[in-house]
Amino acid sequence: MIKAVEFKNNLSLTLRGYVHVPKKYDTAVVYLHGFPGSMARTARRMCRALAARGYLCLRFDFSGSATSDGKFENKLMSREVTDIRYAVNFLAKNYCFKKLILIGHSTGAIDAALYSSRDKRISKLVLMGGVSRLDEAVRYDFTDRQMKDFGEKGYVIYHRPGYWYHRKKIKKAFYDEFFKLNIPASLKKFRKPVLIVHGTKDEAIPAGKDPRELYEICHRPKKLVLIEGADHSFTRPKHWRQLVGTIDKFIKFNR
């Protein structure tokens, strides 16, 4: 069963999402989408796959994204991190489960890494296609032209016909947080199992540095899995099956 849900964040903005409910479960998953994405595509695909394996899954749009309230131009990663608490609160209030897994993809992995140590309800953490240091990774998200626009105009405008964020602008404050938020400091405070998964052909975040640095930062028990040939969204069916299987095994057996 898939149920449409909504809940408020700390700014009284309505966040909208879906809960995938299997017939029987004892473990819940909160899935965090990337930027400037949404709870569609990879998020929907993952929640369907995990629900089929017996996990309750919540996916939702961060404030300022797609179906949720808020302006895209005012987005901040720090606000997305705050949104996570209200998503977890909603799930804990409305569903019964024994373990809670936080899964983040791309910028969602940044948000998950920054949030995980703040909430004792998180049992395990999964980082998919994540970065290790934001100040070094800023060029993964922004071109030279965009960084120049941030400096000269104070914003950039996205041009992606067919996507919900086409012709939307985002303010320089989002860019500025790449030099303020500290992923290593946050992860060093998280002392529960962590899985890091990355494609060796990731076109957005190269596999040579960030996943390995994330692994070094995290406390044991931890696991690093590099999926040979996979892109940023694990698009090809064989890579997707390996990704889902890796996450399923980590949730079930890694203590």
CB burial of residue 212 (10 Å; 0-12, 13-18, 19+): middle
Closest among 110, 121, 250, 129 to 187, alpha carbons compared: 110
Residues in the chain: 255
Is residue 184 reached through a cis peptide bond, with omega within 30 degrees of 0 on the bond before it?
no
Nearest-angstrom CA–CA distance, 23 and 1: 8
Structure tokens, 68: 């949720």
Q: Where are the domains of the chain?
A: 2-135+182-253
Predicted confidence (pLDDT) at residue 61 exceeds the cutoff of 80 = yes
**Mean pLDDT, residues 38-50:** 97
- Angle of CA points 16, 150, 136, to nearest 5°: 80
Q: Work out the end-to-end distance of the chain between its first and last CA atoms, rounded to an integer number of angstroms.
A: 29
Residue 40 contacts residue 56 (beta carbons within 8 Å): no
Number of Cβ within a 10 Å radius of residue 253: 8
Quickly state the pLDDT bin for 254 (edges 50, 70, 90).
low
176-229 tens-digit pLDDT = 999 999 999 999 999 999 999 999 999 999 999 999 999 999 999 999 999 999
Nearest-angstrom CA–CA distance, 170 and 149: 11
Quickly state the pLDDT bin for 163 (edges 50, 70, 90).
very high
* Amino acid letter for position 147: M
Nearest-angstrom CA–CA distance, 124 and 101: 5
Question: Which residues make beta-bridge pairs with 30?
Answer: 58, 102
Give 163-167's long-range contacts (Cβ < 8 A, gap of 24+).
Answer: 163/36, 164/38, 164/66, 165/36, 165/72
User: What predicted TM-score, i.e. pTM, was given to this entire model?
Assistant: 0.97
**Mean pLDDT, residues 140-159:** 95
Hey, which CATH number is domain 2-135+182-253, 3.40.50.1820, 3.90.1200.10, 3.30.565.10, 3.30.870.10? 3.40.50.1820
Structure tokens, 134: 């934001």
26-36 tens-digit pLDDT = 999 999 999 99
Residue 17 contacts residue 65 (beta carbons within 8 Å): no
Kindly give the residue spans of alpha helices, DSSP state H, lying in 95-169: 107-115, 134-141, 144-153
Specify the 3-state DSSP secondary structure of 27: strand
Nearest-angstrom CA–CA distance, 13 and 244: 32
**Mean pLDDT, residues 149-154:** 97
73-132 tens-digit pLDDT = 999 999 999 999 999 999 999 999 999 999 999 999 999 999 999 999 999 999 999 999
Residue 173's pLDDT is what?
Answer: 98
- What CA dihedral angle connects 39, 30, 68 and 190, to 10 degrees? -110
